[in-house]
Each structure stands twice: as structure tokens, then as C-alpha cells.
Amino acid sequence: MTPSQPKQSQAERLASLPKAKIVKRTDLTDDLFIVWLETGLPFTFKAGQYITIGSHGIERPYSIASAPYESLVELFIEYILPEYGGKLTPHLWVHKEGDEVSMRPRAKGIFTFQPQYKDHVMVSTVTGVAPFVSMIRQYLHDGLEGHRFFIMEGASHMNEFIYDGELGGLAEKYPDSIVFLPSVSRPKEALNAEWTGLTGRINTLVEDHLEKWGLKKENTLVYTCGHPMMIEDVKERLTPKGWSVQEERFWKEEGEE
């Protein structure tokens, strides 16, 4: 019998993984930021999939916001304080352009565009919008037609709608195929003083808008990504009524997405 090999520690295992370099970073609020990674290796994925990155012996999966045709991997990340369960993001928060993170070499996930449905209702909270951005970018890049997208994004404060300029602009450019509907859940707070849009938790608004848009169950897929309570509530409201609901969530540790 050959002696068993010493078991690698988590830190040692991560150290052996391929590295990705942070080539660009944008801080958006006091806890939201976007990083763009250069992988250095051939890396392919489907729009909507996630990538697992790590630092200091800790790994977490993140949905990819960039589309497969783009050269850099774009990740939209929320900084979770350690006292609220944050483990990896406190390390990512202090990473600068030029720093490296470990990266699993293959993207994973089945939370992808399902072309057999005509209508796609995409429900998210804050960073959960990332896979929908990827799907829509790729769809338009590929020149596809015949589908409609209804993006519903919820947040506590209006400054958390990071992709509102992009999604709102696409909705104006393609009014027959893209709708963008953001809603703030705390309209009376000072940060929302200038908000004039929809209010209320996004999960409570889905049913009314499915009816308002005249969508048919057999032609519609409802995607949910973000806070697990939002996901569960949408599922509990829609699944018993015959709607098809697909979910993606990453809250493996308390508080950290």
C-alpha cells in the first residue's frame, strides 16, 4: 500500500487554481462594486452562468454580468460586513486593480436563457440582476428576435440600481421587446427622496404585472435571482397557479451572496 497523501488545506487548494487579474474596478456605493477580471486562460460560459472565485482561502460563486462575447469577466458584488456573515467580500473589498483572485476554470449553472419560451420575466434584487444583464447583452449581440424580456428589479434604495442606465436605455431602444421595471421598497427614506418610480417589494408586484402585460403561462418563464426570501415568495405565489419559475441563489452562508 502506498502512503496516503497529506490532505490539502483550503488555502493550498485555492493557491493551485488558475488566477484571474482585476484589471478594472468601479466602486458604486458604500457596499456595491463591479470588478472586471482578465482570466489569462481560454474561458467560455453561457449567459446566466456563474463563476467561482476566491481569496485568503475562501471561495464564493458569482453570477457573471458580462456576456460570453466580451473579453473580460464582469462581476457585480455586494460587500457584506463580517458581522453580518461576510467572509469573502471583506477581502474582495480591499482588492485593487492589478490584484489577483483564484478562479475555477469552468463556469457552471443551468440558470440560462430558455428560448422555447417567448416571454421572459426576470425578477431580481440588487446584485441578482447580473445574469439577466448577461443574457440580454448576448441575445442582442446574437441578433436574435421573437422574444420579450420583462426585467423587474427591487432594491431598498434607488442608488442600488446600478444597471438602470443600460437596461432603461435598452427598453427605450427596443420598446416592443424589453421592459425595465425597478421598484424601491423604502420610498420614505432620504436616499429615495428623488425617486418617482414604482414602490414596494418586487416580489409583491410580479403577479399584478403578469396580468397587466397579458402574459400566458404556457409561453412564459419567470426567472428569480437574489435574496432567498424574494425567491421563495415569488415561487409560493406563482408555482401553485401554474407559472414556470426558475431560480438562482448563492446565499451559502448567512448574509453573504
Q: What is the pLDDT of residues 165-224, one digit of tens each?
A: 999 999 999 999 999 999 999 999 999 999 999 999 999 999 999 999 999 999 999 999
The second-level CATH assignment, the architecture, of 12-103 is: Beta Barrel (2.40)
pLDDT for the residue 141: 98
**CATH class name, domain 119-248:** alpha beta
In whole angstroms, give the CA distance from residue 144 to residue 213.
Answer: 22
Q: What are the tens digits of pLDDT across the range 41-100?
A: 889 999 999 999 999 999 999 999 999 999 999 999 999 999 989 999 999 999 999 999
Burial code of 232-251, b = ≥16 C-beta within 10 A, e = fewer?
Answer: ebbbebbeeeebbbbbbbbe
Which residue ranges does the chain devote to CATH 2.40.30.10? 12-103
Is residue 57 a contact partner of residue 49, using CB atoms and an 8 Å limit?
no
pLDDT band (50, 70, 90) for residue 11: low
Residues of the chain with CATH 3.40.50.80: 119-248
CA gap 165, 194 in Å, rounded: 16
Q: What is the DSSP letter of 157?
A: S
pLDDT at 13: 73
Locate 164 and state its grid cell. Answer: 438602470
Q: Indicate the SS3 state at residue 139.
A: helix
Any alpha helices (H) in 103-148, and if so which ranges? 130-141
